[in-house]
Amino acid sequence: MPKERRRSLREAALSRLSPICDGSGRGGVGRERNFSSTEICDDQTHMAEQYSGRASSDANPVRECQVPQVTITSDGDSREITHDDLEEEGEIGRLRRKLSNSSLSSNGSSTGFEESEDDILSDNETKSKGIVTLEHCGDSGAFGEFNNTRWKLKTLVHCHLLTSHSRRLPWVQLAGHEGNFKAADEGSILKKFSENEKMCFEWLKEDALYSFVPSYYGVVDRDGELFLKMKDLLAGFESPNVMDCKMGTRTYLEEELVLARVKPKMREDLYKKMLDVDSTAPTPEEKHKRAITKPRYMQWRESVSSTNTLGFRIEGIKRGDNCSTDFKRTRSKEDVTQVFRDFVHGNKNIINSYITRLEDIKQAMMKSEFFKKHEVVGSSLLFIHNHKGRAEVWVIDFGKTIPLPEGQTLDHYKPWAEGNREDGYLWGFDNLLQILASLARE
Ligand code: I3P
C-alpha cells in the first residue's frame, strides 16, 4: 500500500473520529426508521443482465477440509466509552494509536515471516487475543439435509454458542475471524474494534441502507479492549437457520495487492489452507517455499468458489446447532442453487420473503450515498429464517469497506480492472436474486 494512501486513510479516520459513542447519539439506538423505496434502475439491471453472461456452470465436488469448533470464554464486564471519558483520562491519544494500528496491523495467524502486505483494514486487530476461540475438530459426520449425493459435507462444526450467561451467541462464527466476537447484553453483541467498520457504521446512520444493517450502539471497552457494540441479529429468533454469503467479485483490497508486490509476505497458514482444499493448487515454487502471499490465496479462493463465477460465495451455514463452512469449492450456479434449496428446505414462503427483502435492499443500495462512495469488499449478506417462516436478510461486515477518493463513485457492476476499485457487488447481488427467483419458480 503506498505510504500516501495509507496516510490519507489514517488521516481520514482520525478527522472523522466522532465522540466514541454511546448508544444515545445520532440514531444510535431505537432505530427501525422507515425506508421509502424507489424503482430499480433499468440501466443497472440491463448491465447486470449483460454481465451475468459471465457465469459458468461447471460442477465442483465439495472437498473435505477441516473446520473449526467454536468455544466461547466467559463474558466479562464492559462499559460504554464516551468522548468525555477519553478526554478526562487522556485516552484520545491511546485510542487514536489504536485506531491507526488496527487498520494496518498484522495478525497472529502467520508465523515466521516479516510483516508486510496483508491485513490492511483487517477487521480484527489481534486474533490471538480471541475471546471466541477456534479449534480444529476434524471430521465429525455429515450435515443433516445437506448429506445427499450432491452435497457430501464431510465435516461439521457443532457451534458451541452458549455463553456463561447461557445466552446464544449469534451469527458470528460462520465466516468471522477467530476471536472477533464477544457476547454482550441481551440483544447485542460485541465485535472487535475496527476503525474502518466504525466509520462505516457512523456514515450508515444517515444513509438509505440504514434499515438493512445491524443497529450500531457505539464503542465499548471490555477488559481493556475496544469493541463495536451492535445488534444481535438472531435475538428473537428461536432455532434460526443462518447463511452467510460474501458478496462481490473481489475479496481483497487493491491496496493489499500493491503492498504484496512491493513487500510480499509469505504465509505458511494460507499455504496449508490451500493444500487442505486442493493439494495440486500450489505452484512448484510455492510447494518449495511451503508458503503463499495473501492476495495469491484470496484470488485462488475466489477462483475455486463462486466469487468469480457468480459475484458472491457461500461462506457458511448454520442449521440448528450445526455449522458448516465447507463451501470453498461450491462454484457453479447449479451447486449454489442446490445449497440454497437445501437451506430453505424448498419452502417457497421463505424464498419469497428473502426475495422481497433482497429487492428492498437493492432499492436502498441504488439510493445509498454510502454504497456509491465506498469500495465494498468482504461484506456479507446474512440470511436468517426459522421454521415459522420468519425470514430476514442483513448487510453485514464492513471491516474492508473503504471510502473512495473524493469525487469517485462505483456502479458495483463493472468488471474489476486494477485501479477502478469496482467490487462487482451488484452483479453478484443480481445473480443471487436470480438464483432465488429460479427456486421460487420450481
Ligand atoms: C480467509 C478469508 C477472510 C480473510 C482471511 C482468509 O480465508 O478470505 O476473508 O480475512 O485472511 O484467511 P478462508 O475463508 O479460506 O478461511 P480478511 O477478509 O480480513 O482479509 P487472514 O488469514 O489474513 O485473516
Greater model confidence, 373 or 33: 373
CA 270/CA 55 separation, integer angstroms: 27
What average pLDDT does the segment 100-104 reach? 28
Pocket test residue of 67, 251, 265, 296 for ligand 1, highest count of atoms within 8 A of CB: 251
Pocket test residue of 251, 259, 276, 298 for ligand 1, highest count of atoms within 8 A of CB: 298
| Nearest ligand 1 atom, CA 273 | 15
**Which protein residue's CA is at the shortest distance from atom 9 of ligand 1?**
378
pLDDT of residue 173: 60
Query: What pLDDT band is residue 316 in, cutting at 50, 70 and 90?
Result: very high
Residue 248 has pLDDT above 70, yes or no: yes
Task: Give the residue from 337, 436, 422, 335 showing the smallest Cα distance to 376.
Answer: 422
Residue 381 has pLDDT above 70, yes or no: yes
Give me the chain's average pLDDT, please: 72
Show Cβ contacts of residue 312 under 8 Å, excluding neighbours closer than 6 positions: 245, 246, 247, 248, 306, 381, 428, 429, 431, 432
Query: What pLDDT band is residue 78 in, cutting at 50, 70 and 90?
Result: low
What average pLDDT does the segment 347-369 reach? 98
pLDDT of residue 425: 98
Greater model confidence, 317 or 50: 317
| Nearest ligand 1 atom, CA 110 | 22
Greater model confidence, 417 or 77: 417
**Which protein residue's CA is at the shortest distance from atom 2 of ligand 1?**
298
Pocket test residue of 119, 128, 250, 293 for ligand 1, highest count of atoms within 8 A of CB: 119
Residue 232 has pLDDT above 80, yes or no: yes
Residue 378 has pLDDT above 50, yes or no: yes
pLDDT of residue 186: 84
CA 58 from centroid of its chain's CA atoms: 26
What average pLDDT does the segment 226-244 reach? 93
Residue 387 has pLDDT above 60, yes or no: yes
Query: What pLDDT band is residue 238 in, cutting at 50, 70 and 90?
Result: confident
Q: Residues 404, 405, 406, 412: is their CA dihedral positive or negative?
A: negative
In this predicted model, what pLDDT tens digit does every residue of 28-67 receive, in sequence order?
333 433 323 322 333 333 433 343 333 333 333 322 222 2
Longest Cα–Cα distance of the chain, Å, equals 63
Query: What pLDDT band is residue 319 in, cutting at 50, 70 and 90?
Result: confident
Residue 164 has pLDDT above 80, yes or no: no
In this predicted model, what pLDDT tens digit does every residue of 105-145 receive, in sequence order?
222 222 222 334 544 554 433 332 223 322 223 333 333 34
CA 267/CA 101 separation, integer angstroms: 21
Greater model confidence, 398 or 136: 398
In this predicted model, what pLDDT tens digit does every residue of 171-220 receive, in sequence order?
556 656 667 888 888 899 999 999 999 999 999 999 999 999 999 999 99
Question: According to the 3-state scheme, what is the secondary structure of 84-130?
Answer: HHHHHCCCHHHHHHHHHHHHHCCCCCCCCCCCCCCCCCCCCCCHHHC
Greater model confidence, 346 or 215: 215
Distance from Cα 119 to the centre of ligand 1, integer Å: 9
Name the pairing type of β-strands 225-231 and 216-222: antiparallel
| Nearest ligand 1 atom, CA 298 | 8
Q: Report the pocket of ligand 1 as residue ranges, CB < 6 Å.
A: 107, 109, 118-119, 122-123, 177, 251, 273, 294, 298, 301, 378, 400
Query: What pLDDT band is residue 103 in, cutting at 50, 70 and 90?
Result: very low
